[in-house]
Structure 1
Amino acid sequence: MNDFRWQSPSLRRPLRVAVLMSGGGRTFQNLLDRSRMGALFAEIVLAVADRECGGRQRAEAAGIPVRLIPRRRFDDGESFSEAVFAACEAADCDVVAMAGFLSLLRIPDRFAFRVMNIHPSLIPAFCGPGFYGKRVHRAAIERGVRVSGCTVHFADNEYDHGPIILQRVVPVFDEDTPETLAARVFEQECRAYPEALELYAQGRLAFRNGRLFVDR
């Protein structure tokens, strides 16, 4: 609907963030470290894991409240999603940050424009079901692209879809492997996600005329 308008809130307090993860938790750790160093005006108030993973262990070691909500325990995506967002709501979070979260979520209306995701490619390239981790970088190298990067976007009910907040670009070299390209992209992910969260908390994200804008 092109007449729909939305503006992120301008907060005078730290942004309250819930982080969803399925893997090792490097993105979670980056957000946590930056928030605790004062480089990100945010507080990680909850970590949610959909399986046993290194990310859960990182959160527990850091003293962050953790909820383990295994996808396999739910008969359908609707009930699983409701359990995840009920936990986020109970933690009184402002924003949900997906950080390598592999389960597809059904985002309720009350969380519209409150769920972010980061993907290690320049969406719409190399994204969607099956494109995660080093699979993304292997596909980029095999296709012969000269640049890759990462994308932070608002999540909707499709994989790696929804309004794009920002992208960061890196070169792809002839000698790259999936591992070397992944490392270069991750360096930019560590900058892009905190920047996107800051833009949200500063009230600088606006959706109008069917597109998302960053107000300068």
Structure 2
Amino acid sequence: MKRIAIFASGSGSNAEKICQYFQDRTDVEVSLIFTNNPQAGVIKRACLLQIPIVFFDKKTFYQTEKILRILQNERIDLVVLAGFMMLVPPSLVNAFHKRMINIHPALLPKFGGKGMYGRFVHEAVVEAKEQQTGITIHYVNEHYDEGDVIFQATCNVDPDDSVEAIENKIHLLEHENYPRVIDELLAKMP
């Protein structure tokens, strides 16, 4: 059985879709959800789905021994970032080289980097008068949004689209594609 750990800091809609996608499978399990935000919406979603939650603070995360030990003890095959706002320390990235992925709500390399998440990305897309935007699923490295691209999907930006309209289009792309791409990556793992 392949085992997934999800890291999330926010509402958890992507984490929920991933959990639901794999919930009836016998070959894949979402084993844990990690969060650094005690107010995160992902907590309620994880509880409803009966997925164990691991809480941690910034100090614990950057002293990665504890987090790494949990991931190794749980025999995690793939670490999935889903709305996780912290830069992953190099020791954790190295321990899960090409086994840690992230989703970004834009077509990288555009609109990526520190501070470019959620609404900030969509505002930048509107301000730049982009005609297309989308999502990027990529491997995690030591820098925000710079890992090798695994998959991208696009959607049109209409001239009258609000930030909220773009956000809704992006959520649809994320929910449709992230679980499927995770499944494809797991299928290729030994």
TM-score, normalisation: structure 1: 0.81
Aligned to 1:50: 36
Aligned to 1:100: 83
SS at structure 1 position matched to 2:179: helix
Q: Percent identity?
A: 27
SS at structure 2 position matched to 1:135: helix
Aligned to 1:5: none
Aligned to 1:160: 145
Aligned to 1:25: 12
- Look up the equivalent residue of 1:93 and give its one-letter code: I
CA distance in 1, matches of 2:65, 2:131: 41
Q: Deviations over 1:160-198 (max 9, x none)?
A: 111110000000001111111011011111122112212
User: 1:62-73 alignment to 2 at 5 Å?
Assistant: 62-71=49-58
CA distance in 1, matches of 2:18, 2:29: 9
Q: Deviations over 1:82-118 (max 9, x none)?
A: 3333222222110000011101111432211111000
SS at structure 1 position matched to 2:23: helix
CA distance in 2, matches of 1:82, 1:50: 16
Alpha-carbon RMSD: 1.8
Would you say the 8 A contact 1:148–1:172 is kept in 2? yes
SS at structure 2 position matched to 1:161: coil
User: 1:63-212 alignment to 2 at 5 Å?
Assistant: 63-71=50-58, 74=59, 78-79=62-63, 81-108=64-91, 109-203=94-188
User: For structure 1, which segment, 186-195 or 127-136, has the greater mean C-alpha deviation from structure 2 after superposition?
Assistant: 186-195
CA distance in 2, matches of 1:198, 1:32: 12
CA distance in 1, matches of 2:30, 2:17: 11
Per-residue deviation, 1:41? 5.7
Q: 1:107 to 1:43 in 2, by over 3 A?
A: farther
Structure with greater Cα Rg: 1
CA distance in 1, matches of 2:129, 2:66: 41
CA distance in 1, matches of 2:177, 2:7: 17
- Look up the equivalent residue of 1:83 and give its one-letter code: K
User: For structure 1, which segment, 29-38 or 140-149, has the greater mean C-alpha deviation from structure 2 after superposition?
Assistant: 29-38
Runs of 4+ in 1 over 6 A off after TM superposition: none
Would you say the 8 A contact 1:152–1:192 is kept in 2? no
